[in-house]
């Protein structure tokens, strides 16, 4: 990966979300770390929208790395990104479990199922 650019970093009390971008020849990655909780969860969608511009044929991947908390609002943002066709890469049992649960909320044709 050629370069990393810090997009967003918020800290309020003990809530922190960091979103950085890594550029490669075939892929652009958004690296999300910290706590995916309000009011910051919506920033992930904004970062996705910004990163999706000018991909020049590259793949856009969201890497969920070192997430310690994902609130229901954070799950909603992940679901919205899945509906937009986001591809995810994650580490850790917690994050993989949350992504599986969010994916289950989606129906076969991209419609959200009721919880």
CATH number for the domain harbouring residue 57: 3.30.750.24
Q: What percent of the chain has pLDDT over 70?
A: 79
Statement: residue 2 has pLDDT above 60: no
| 111 found inside a domain | no
Strand order across the beta sheet in which 27-36 lies: 3-12, 15-23, 27-36, 59-70, 87-90
| 115 found inside a domain | no
User: Contact, 9 vs 16, CB < 8 A?
Assistant: yes
As a whole number of angstroms, the distance between CA 109 and CA 55 comes to 26
| 36 found inside a domain | yes
- H or E element at residue 100: helix 93-104
| 114 found inside a domain | no
Band (pLDDT 50/70/90 cuts) for residue 97 is very high
| 58 found inside a domain | yes
| 72 found inside a domain | yes
As a whole number of angstroms, the distance between CA 111 and CA 60 comes to 22
Instruction: Please tell me the total count of domains within the chain.
Output: 1
Statement: residue 110 has pLDDT above 80: no
Which tens digits make up the pLDDT trace of 27-79? 999 999 999 999 888 899 999 999 998 898 999 999 999 899 999 999 999 99
What is the span of the domain harbouring residue 35? 3-104
| 87 found inside a domain | yes
pLDDT value at residue 91 = 85
| 61 found inside a domain | yes
pLDDT value at residue 82 = 92
């Amino acid at each position: 990966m050629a370069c990393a650019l810090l997009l967003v970093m918020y800290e309020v009390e003990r809530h922190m979300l960091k979103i950085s971008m890594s550029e490669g020849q075939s892929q652009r990655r958004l690296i999300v770390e910290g706590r995916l909780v309000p009011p910051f969860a919506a920033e992930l969608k904004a970062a996705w929208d910004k990163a999706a511009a000018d991909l020049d044929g590259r793949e856009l991947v969201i890497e969920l790395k070192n997430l310690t908390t994902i609130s229901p609002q954070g799950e909603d943002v992940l679901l919205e990104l899945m509906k937009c066709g986001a591809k995810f890469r994650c580490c850790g049992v917690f994050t993989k479990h949350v992504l599986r649960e969010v994916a289950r909320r989606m129906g076969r044709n991209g419609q959200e199922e009721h919880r």
